Structure 1
């Protein structure tokens, strides 16, 4: 599978990064990190000239763990998978489902990178990337991540259809921690392509995916909710939670369904009475009434 899904529930034409671009990004990162490590080592050598051998050795080990190992982990965590070299080459580290990585992913990648990149001079990483169909090194396999190219044409993006308005926020209390990444990926891929599927096939797929998702969350599918609409609403809820974690509650509140802008609400419109006729009943109901679920969420005829 070449296409990936971002954490914003959007299928993009992202492609796994090839070995040459990844190698160039690693070289840039290593040059910067080792230059900083050499400068810090020289400063520590001058500053600890009066200390004993044991103290100097302890500081040397601490500086090695802090700079060549700790700094890349911190940078990948804070930048959501974009180090200096990856930023220069247009690459990013993402989860298997295309979402942003977290500290645990960066930690596993960094720990395995000590063996793959530093101790073996990159030989293990190169062999693993050549063998893997998606160009992943051993650290990516253990962390559940991969490196993708970000610089792609924008017209290849296909957004996930938003859920019906009456379902937005309905699953805010749902526990999504037990849903695996491969199930998220399958759901998002289905939602972006359900318009291209046969009605019967699409309906059966939505039922199967909704049953799997309900089994993982421990909450059955609400009665009267089409499976496809249920899937879209839960994906929207997960995206909103990712936005709150990444940007804070204020930024997430300004985001509508599946990353789109919040829908504008028109004020109630009152129709004035017509002269010479009985007083008309004021039309105090907003005109933008939530439409029923789209036909794509309805069962096949």
Structure 2
């Protein structure tokens, strides 16, 4: 069962309907239409029974054109391709590009359907649907439409996938000021739908977007980074910069998805795996906070102490008063 793909290589969340579901939907529609046609025929024929045979025949022809032929066309046009039977089975008539049908599409399908469904009891429609790759009958072929399934599991792609961990900070030196917003939007949309595209189409789109992004940044992409990973890494770097401008360094680290560094810790040191709970003292790497420490944490704390003016070695802050000699 092939999915619908537009000319822009975008996979729609719709799949062509097959003969069993379409036949059941048509049977429901025909049952409702012919029931209404018979009821109206009995009412009108009893009302015009005093007329001659030519008038009665004209009323019957007009009623046939209005109910079995005109009513499905009107319903399909007003409901954008959904009749009662199609609504029950979760089907819809759409154009070949996935757009909604209009009156001319419904008129063509209805006119051809009189021959292939009503006059031949659906035999021609069944044969054409079995031969067609997408289950299209002759009315769909002439109208440029097809019947698709709406009740299929869809892939949620609300946000772009995160950048690989091994690319964190790899593109920190890129100049992203010349990249237009349209290209950022194209990169995001590609990353959101990369898993739904054909592999060859996805690879070609990734290479084109990578070339455009590299031309805007003025730096060629790394040879050891695949194009999809390059796009994800550069997009993550741009999000981190936006978060840094809006929320500071903590927002940039949150945008990258990494653990925040503690205030006062050297930039080259990694943060502990978990933040200390309220009231609990955190021990810096290489030192012991309870003993004063001899590691990097103690050395950094000693470096931050204010100088002692009187030459003593007291660790407390100086008051600035020098006693007389």
Cα deviation code 1:173-227 (max 9, x no counterpart): xxxxxxxxxxxxxxxx99x7599324685369x9xxxxxxxxxxxxxxxxx9xxx
SS of the residue corresponding to residue 94 of structure 2 reads strand
Q: Which residue of 2 aligns with 1:67?
A: 67
Do the aligned partners of residues 200 and 23 (structure 1) sit closer, same or farther apart at CA in structure 2, a change above 3 Å counting? closer
Q: 1:158 offset after TM fit, Å? A: 8.5
Asked whether 1:155 is paired with 2:139, we answer no
Matched, 1:20 2:5: no
- Please state if 1:87 is matched with 2:93: no
- Superimposed CA distance per residue, residues 34-68 of structure 1 (whole angstroms, 9 cap, x where no aligned partner): 00000000001110011111111111000000000
RMSD of the TM alignment (CA)? Answer: 3.6
| In the alignment, structure 1 residue 133 sits paired with structure 2 residue 133 | yes
Output aligned runs, 1:79-118, within 5 Å: 79-118=79-118
CA distance in 2, matches of 1:27, 1:199: 44
- Normalised by the length of structure 2, the TM-score is 0.50
1:11: Cα distance to partner? 3.5
Structure 1 residue runs without a partner (length 5+): 169-188, 207-223, 225-301
Matches within 5 A, 1:25-40: 25-40=25-40
Greater Rg by CA: 2
Q: How far apart are 1:5 and its partner, in Å?
A: 5.6
1:220-268 deviation per Cα after TM superposition (whole angstroms, max 9, x unaligned):
xxxx9xxxxxxxxxxxxxxxxxxxxxxxxxxxxxxxxxxxxxxxxxxxx
Match of 2:44 in 1: 44
Give the aligned partner of residue 2 of structure 1.
Answer: 2
Distance 2:116 2:156 in 1: 34
Query: What is the Cα deviation at residue 164 of structure 1?
Result: 4.0
How many residues matched?
183
Alignment check: 8 A CA contact 1:91 1:149 kept: yes
Higher relative contact order (CA 8 A, sep 6+): 1
Q: Per the alignment, in what secondary structure is the counterpart of residue 97 of structure 1?
A: coil
Report deviation, 1:154: 2.9
SS at match of 1:68: helix
Please, what TM-score do these two structures have when normalized by structure 1?
A: 0.53
Which residue of the partner structure matches residue 226 of structure 2? Answer: none
